């Protein structure tokens, strides 16, 4: 099984994604469609987990969720870059064609992605602190970090080391 399909399968299993019931035999979705459905489901489940664990009032929720959506939108381009990097690595790995120059560029992109992710997280702290007490903001970042850690662990477990 190639690395892209393995990562998609892990995400499907990790987040309990199952195909819906349709009339007649379901059409086999393309890998791109599977990826989009998986990512949409991850975003939805992530929001549900945050909602279930934030313990915010209705008034706080009215101002929290729009900022949360902005935060997620800010991370979207970083997440897209990470997916593209994994796909590029998978393609080179499966073709056994990864060069030292490509590996160096991929490492640079990985570090750039992590730097950009951290900058976005830092940028949103004041916005969250304007609407929630510091303890609840900290709780949100803990939840967010735990969700990131689960996903990163599953990806790391499925992505083979450079040969």
The string of DSSP codes covering 85-108 is: HHHHHHHHHHTT---HHHHHHHHH
* Structural domain containing residue 88: 3-18+28-158
Structural domain contains residue 163: no
pLDDT of residue 19: 40
Structural domain contains residue 151: yes
Structural domain contains residue 23: no
Structural domain contains residue 99: yes
Tens digits of pLDDT across the chain (163 residues) = 445 455 554 544 444 433 443 444 566 778 777 777 778 888 899 999 999 999 999 999 999 999 999 999 999 999 999 999 999 999 999 999 999 999 999 999 999 999 999 999 999 999 999 999 999 999 999 999 999 999 999 999 999 999 8
Structural domain contains residue 57: yes
Structural domain contains residue 36: yes
Domain count, the chain: 1
Cα separation, 42 vs 40, whole angstroms: 5
What distances in angstroms separate CA 141 from CA 118, 138, 145, one per listed residue? 12, 5, 6
Structural domain contains residue 144: yes
């Amino acid at each position: 099984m190639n690395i892209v399909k393995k990562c998609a399968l892990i995400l499907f299993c990790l987040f309990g994604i199952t195909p819906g019931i349709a009339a007649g035999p379901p059409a086999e979705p393309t890998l791109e469609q599977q990826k989009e459905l998986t990512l949409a489901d991850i975003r939805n489940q992530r929001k549900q987990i945050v909602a279930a664990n934030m313990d915010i009032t209705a008034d706080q929720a009215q101002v929290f969720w729009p900022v949360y959506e902005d935060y997620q939108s800010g991370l979207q381009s970083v997440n897209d870059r990470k997916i593209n990097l994994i796909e590029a690595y998978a393609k080179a790995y499966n073709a056994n064609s990864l060069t030292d120059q490509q590996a160096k560029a991929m490492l640079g992109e990985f570090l750039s992605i992590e730097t950009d992710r951290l900058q976005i997280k830092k940028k949103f702290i004041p916005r969250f602190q304007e609407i929630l007490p510091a303890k609840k903001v900290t709780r949100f970042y803990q939840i967010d970090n735990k969700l990131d850690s689960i996903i990163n662990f599953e990806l790391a477990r499925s992505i083979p080391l450079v040969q």
